[in-house]
């Protein structure tokens, strides 16, 4: 079209978008997460990873967003909604548009919090936090789908390409996130990952009056789950100790019985000869005293 028809590049882009929309809508169920790839395996891995990192707070990531501000909280919810909505789109360009809308909501949330335009250093940590909080479905499959079938010019330049690159960086950061990345000790990181404790615990008196009731209930439930987990661990520890004590007690009793048997062996003697019956006629052999004779008294 550009060489023979002398069509302007802007019009060529629009035509390419329409061709992409038509073809990819028809082929979506065949080319999205195909069986010949390991996209589904990667989806499950990143989903499990994000679930394990549910305890990560904005402070750990140095996120410059104050969710206690109602307008900022709304922006965060919209950003999460947009990144989740990406999976419902079929056209690569539409999936990119969801990422772009999510990113713009993030920039607005940072701007409202800081009262100044957001920088790239503020944007990436906040995007990581949004991904952790939203846990978008089939995240890796969507990224691979966009990479394979989106118009390359959109990924190489422009704001869509910039935001998509940052999303790829956020996912890579989450996959490699460790204690050092969050400025935590390895011991605390392992405890948080195993669910033994949670850094989200807050007292009710520290809540802002404007805090959402649902968020309060969520933190309360997390606190209860943490307490139940600690209680279960104590019960399991006591049960293992009781099992060990019972085994030791059984072994001790068996050893004492064995020592007594060895010290006082059981001797079985032959039975004595049977004695004659009292009513038998062989009284002499029985060596019994003579029978008593009746005495007559004159009265």
Tell me: the pLDDT tens digits for 264-275?
Answer: 877 777 766 555
* Each residue's pLDDT tens digit, 113-148: 999 888 888 999 999 999 999 999 999 999 999 999
Selected residue with higher pLDDT from 286 and 119: 119
CB atoms closer than 10 angstroms to residue 204: 8
* Each residue's pLDDT tens digit, 8-67: 878 888 888 899 899 999 999 999 999 999 999 999 999 999 999 989 999 999 999 998
Asked if pLDDT for residue 298 goes beyond 80, the answer is: no
Task: State the Cα torsion 56-57-59-62 to the nearest 10°.
Answer: 60
How does residue 206 score in pLDDT terms, banded at 50, 70 and 90? low
DSSP summary character for residue 4: S
pTM value? 0.65
CB atoms closer than 10 angstroms to residue 95: 24
How does residue 207 score in pLDDT terms, banded at 50, 70 and 90? low
Asked if pLDDT for residue 277 goes beyond 60, the answer is: no
Lowest mean pLDDT among 112-116, 231-235, 277-281: 277-281
Give Cβ neighbours of residue 52 (< 8 Å, ≥ 6 apart): 193
Nearest to 129 by CA among 87, 93, 75: 75
The pLDDT of residue 41: 95
Give Cβ neighbours of residue 18 (< 8 Å, ≥ 6 apart): none
Domain 9-198 has CATH 1.20.1050.80: yes
Token pair 């329409």 in the structure block, residue:
18
| Mean pLDDT, all residues of the chain | 85
Nearest to 147 by CA among 135, 165, 132: 165
DSSP symbols for 87-110: GG--SHHHHHHHHHHHHHHHHHHH
Strand, coil or helix: 23 = helix
* Each residue's pLDDT tens digit, 141-170: 999 999 999 988 888 878 999 999 999 999
Q: Measured between alpha carbons, how far apart are the two ends of the chain, in Å?
A: 162
The pLDDT of residue 42: 95
Show me where the domains of the chain are located: 9-198, 212-255
Asked if pLDDT for residue 291 goes beyond 50, the answer is: yes
């Amino acid at each position: 079209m550009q060489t023979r028809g002398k069509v302007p590049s802007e019009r060529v882009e629009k035509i390419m978008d329409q061709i992409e929309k038509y073809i990819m809508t028809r082929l979506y169920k065949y080319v999205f997460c195909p069986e010949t790839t390991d996209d589904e395996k990667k989806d499950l891995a990143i989903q499990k990873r994000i679930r394990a990192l549910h305890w990560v707070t904005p402070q750990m990531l140095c996120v410059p967003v104050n969710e206690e501000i109602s307008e900022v909280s709304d922006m965060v919810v919209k950003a999460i909604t947009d990144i989740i909505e990406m999976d419902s789109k079929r056209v690569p360009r539409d999936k990119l548009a969801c990422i772009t809308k999510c990113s713009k909501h993030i920039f607005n949330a940072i701007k409202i919090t800081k009262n100044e335009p957001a920088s790239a250093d503020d944007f990436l940590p906040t995007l990581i936090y949004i991904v952790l909080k939203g846990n978008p479905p089939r995240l890796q499959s969507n990224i691979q789908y966009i990479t394979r079938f989106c118009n390359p010019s959109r990924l190489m330049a422009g704001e869509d390409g910039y935001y998509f690159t940052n999303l790829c960086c956020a996912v890579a950061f989450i996959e490699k996130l460790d204690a050092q990345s969050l400025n935590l000790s390895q011991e605390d990181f392992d405890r948080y990952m195993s669910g033994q404790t949670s850094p989200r615990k807050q007292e009710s008196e520290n809540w802002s009056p404007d805090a959402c009731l649902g968020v309060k209930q969520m933190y309360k439930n997390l606190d209860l789950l943490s307490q139940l987990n600690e209680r279960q661990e104590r019960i399991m520890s006591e049960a293992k100790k009781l099992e060990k004590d019972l085994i030791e007690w059984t072994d001790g009793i068996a050893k004492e019985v064995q020592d007594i048997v060895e010290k006082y062996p059981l001797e079985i003697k032959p039975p004595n000869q049977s004695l004659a019956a009292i009513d038998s006629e062989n009284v002499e052999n029985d060596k019994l005293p003579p029978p008593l004779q009746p005495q007559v008294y004159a009265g």
